[in-house]
């Protein structure tokens, strides 16, 4: 018999079983202190979820796997005939155990058996009595009462692209950094009956003081708040776990969000700081904590792909991987999206960079931004068709990124990054607002470039006197200006 600390979604398990051409074993990760010699241990292929080996109560050191069967099996009718073959081969009573049967099926018969992970603890496997059940039910009931009232709050930070963008969407290389000036925060609280996504009072308004108020708010904030991001993330999370063989516990919750990341809404695209990926990232963090999903279940490299898929597949937002990667890894990140890497492993190579000697960066953005949705123009079509000037430009962005790992050359390279982007996108596509901010920054001798898809500029100005003068000039021009405060993961107080 077995007892889990949470009920799991049996319907999800059945759907997963039906989707696989073989048998099913439910497993979990051994808790600290549990010995593998007390359980049936499975080794699972992370890509196919196929169980490659089953070891019934192995001696310590025989396998590195900490994944244990919970004595929950799904067999197909045709497989039951194997039982008589097993019994004819193993005649002693000590050999006729279900664990050894599975070991024989998987290791010797090479039967296709798939595994589904439960992100929860299990106890009471074997011969137990009523007192054992009472003890563990009391333990888990107390544990649930202690944890249910504790909200889970996670924060993800805005990012600025320092070098190489927009080549992240074109098999290039980039360097980007999370900043603590702007963030999105999501809070999850367990609820007893429903899964609820609460609208934000400012970003998802449903009531207005007048028709004029509706007009002004809709013009400024647009129609696409963060509520859809919460819902799309939850939907994609359930779908991901189902496909990846992770059975979720049957728990309901309420989600709400807050953000101070500026938005651009004229044509359904956000400002360069990317508020939508930050909300999705923070929501995913909450769901992972709530359902006890580990980095092994959802590695950081795959997590970035997940966040992008929420935006592109569910919400049809045009985006690249850079922003999602840096918001997952946090800090200062070097990213290589070369075609060979993306084709072979499905993600790029990502490396955290030293932040101890960062130069002083600043950020400015339009208080009433123009349309940044045009910023990608027809570049993708031109790149896909192999137009030489575009293909070479993306390669040059990657080369600039490699050179930018030397901070002494960064200012010059930032200017080169912008001019290269300007040459292939053209001034009409970049828009007058972005060009005015670049020109204004250069009047004060500052290096400057676009940190994202438009509506903001990031710069480097070591001269503090000129920096103060430049701030005033930007503010007089109707822009919002701030000195960047880098978000350093090792110094964080919360996720």
In the chain, the domains with their CATH numbers are: 10-146 (3.90.550.10), 153-483 (3.30.230.120)
Compute the C-alpha angle 281/282/288, nearest 5°: 90
Give the C-alpha separation, 360 to 377, whole Å.
Answer: 32
Two tokens at 174? 């980039």
Cβ(458)–Cβ(363) under 8 Å?
yes
End-to-end CA distance of the chain: 38
List the beta strands (DSSP E) in 192-277.
196-197, 252-259
Chain centre to alpha carbon of residue 490: 19
pLDDT of residue 309: 95
Two tokens at 201? 């009072």
From 168, 204, 258, 323, active-site residue: 323
Cβ(40)–Cβ(99) under 8 Å?
yes
Sign of the C-alpha dihedral computed for residues 447, 304, 150 and 124 taken in this order: negative
Active site residue 323: yes
Give the C-alpha separation, 284 to 290, whole Å.
Answer: 10
Beta bridge partners of 350: 335
Sign of the C-alpha dihedral computed for residues 200, 206, 208 and 213 taken in this order: positive
Q: Give the count of beta carbons closer than 10 Å to the beta carbon of residue 223.
A: 9
Two tokens at 461? 């100005």
Cβ(331)–Cβ(168) under 8 Å?
no
Q: Is 176 strand, coil or helix?
A: strand
Compute the C-alpha angle 64/67/69, nearest 5°: 135
Give the C-alpha separation, 258 to 375, whole Å.
Answer: 27
What does the pLDDT look like over 436-464, one tens digit per residue? 999 999 999 999 999 987 889 999 999 99
pLDDT of residue 148: 55
Task: Give buried/exposed letters for 378-387 (b at 16+ CB in 10 A, else e).
Answer: ebeebbeeee
pLDDT of residue 267: 32
Cβ(262)–Cβ(275) under 8 Å?
yes
Q: Is 148 strand, coil or helix?
A: helix
pLDDT of residue 266: 33
Give the C-alpha separation, 192 to 190, whole Å.
Answer: 7
Length of the chain: 495
Token match 């050359």: residue? 409
Q: Is 466 strand, coil or helix?
A: helix
Cβ(159)–Cβ(184) under 8 Å?
no
**Stretches in the chain below the pLDDT threshold 70:** 1-8, 120-149, 221, 263-274, 368-376, 491-495
Would you give the DSSP letter of residue 408?
G
Distance (Å) of CA 21 to CA 10, 16, 84:
19, 10, 22
| CA-based nearest residue to 422, from 454, 463, 386 | 454
Give the C-alpha separation, 247 to 21, whole Å.
Answer: 18
Distance (Å) of CA 417 to CA 319, 337, 422, 444:
19, 17, 9, 19
pLDDT of residue 130: 60
Residues 6+ apart with CB under 8 A from 232: 280, 310, 311, 314, 315
Q: Give the count of beta carbons closer than 10 Å to the beta carbon of residue 369.
A: 23
Task: Give buried/exposed letters for 60-89 (b at 16+ CB in 10 A, else e).
Answer: eeeeebbbbbbbbebbeeebeebeeebeee
pLDDT of residue 73: 83
Element (H, E) at 381: helix 379-384
Give the C-alpha separation, 15 to 269, whole Å.
Answer: 36
Task: Give buried/exposed letters for 134-148 (b at 16+ CB in 10 A, else e).
Answer: eebeeebeeeeeeee
Two tokens at 133? 């059940």
Q: How many CA atoms lie within 13 A of 337 on its CB side?
A: 26
pLDDT of residue 421: 96
Q: How many CA atoms lie within 13 A of 288 on its CB side?
A: 20
pLDDT of residue 371: 42
């Amino acid at each position: 018999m077995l007892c889990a600390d949470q009920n799991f979604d049996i319907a999800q398990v059945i759907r997963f079983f039906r989707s696989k051409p073989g048998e099913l074993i439910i497993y979990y990760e051994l808790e600290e202190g549990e010995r593998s010699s007390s359980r049936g241990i499975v080794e699972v292929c992370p890509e196919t979820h196929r169980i490659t080996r089953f070891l019934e109560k192995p001696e310590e050191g025989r396998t590195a796997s900490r994944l244990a069967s919970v004595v929950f099996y799904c067999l197909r009718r045709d497989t039951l005939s194997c039982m008589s073959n097993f019994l004819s081969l193993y005649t002693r009573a000590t050999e006729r155990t279900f664990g050894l049967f599975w070991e024989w099926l998987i290791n010797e018969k090479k039967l296709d058996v798939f595994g589904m992970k439960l992100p929860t603890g299990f106890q009471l496997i074997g011969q137990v009595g009523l007192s054992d059940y009472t003890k563990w039910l009391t333990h888990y009931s107390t544990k649930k009462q202690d944890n249910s009232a504790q909200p889970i709050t996670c924060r993800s930070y805005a990012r600025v692209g320092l070098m190489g963008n927009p080549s992240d969407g074109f098999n290039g290389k980039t360097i980007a950094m999370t900043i603590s000036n702007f963030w999105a925060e999501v809070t999850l609280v367990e609820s007893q009956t429903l899964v609820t996504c609460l609208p934000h009072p400012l970003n998802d308004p449903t009531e207005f003081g007048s028709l004029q108020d509706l007009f002004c708010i809709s013009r400024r904030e647009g129609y696409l708040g963060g509520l859809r991001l919460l819902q799309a993330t939850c939907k994609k999370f359930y779908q991901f776990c189902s496909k990846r063989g992770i059975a979720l516990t049957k728990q309901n919750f309420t989600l709400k969000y807050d953000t101070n990341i500026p938005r651009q809404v004229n044509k359904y695209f956000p400002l360069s700081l990317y508020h939508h990926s930050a909300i999705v990232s923070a929501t995913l963090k909450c769901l992972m904590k709530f359902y006890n999903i580990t980095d092994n279940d959802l590695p950081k490299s795959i997590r970035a792909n997940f966040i992008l898929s929420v935006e592109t597949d569910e919400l049809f937002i045009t985006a690249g991987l850079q922003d999602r990667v840096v918001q997952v890894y946090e800090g200062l990140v070097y990213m290589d999206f070369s075609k060979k890497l993306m084709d072979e492993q499905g993600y790029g190579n990502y490396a955290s960079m030293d932040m101890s000697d960062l130069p002083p960066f600043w950020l400015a953005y339009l208080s009433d931004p123009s349309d940044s949705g045009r910023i990608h123009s027809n570049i993708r079509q031109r790149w896909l068709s192999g137009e030489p000037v575009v293909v070479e430009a993306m390669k040059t962005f990657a080369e600039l990124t490699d050179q930018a790992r030397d901070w002494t050359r960064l200012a010059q390279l930032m200017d080169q990054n912008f001019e290269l982007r300007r040459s292939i996108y053209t001034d009409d596509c970049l828009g007058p607002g972005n060009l005015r901010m670049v020109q204004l920054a250069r009047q004060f001798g500052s290096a400057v470039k676009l940190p994202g898809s438009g509506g903001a500029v990031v710069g480097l100005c070591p001269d503090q006197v000129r920096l103060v003068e430049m701030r005033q000039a930007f503010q007089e021009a109707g822009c919002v200006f701030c000195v960047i405060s880098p978000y350093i993961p090792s110094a964080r107080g919360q996720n």
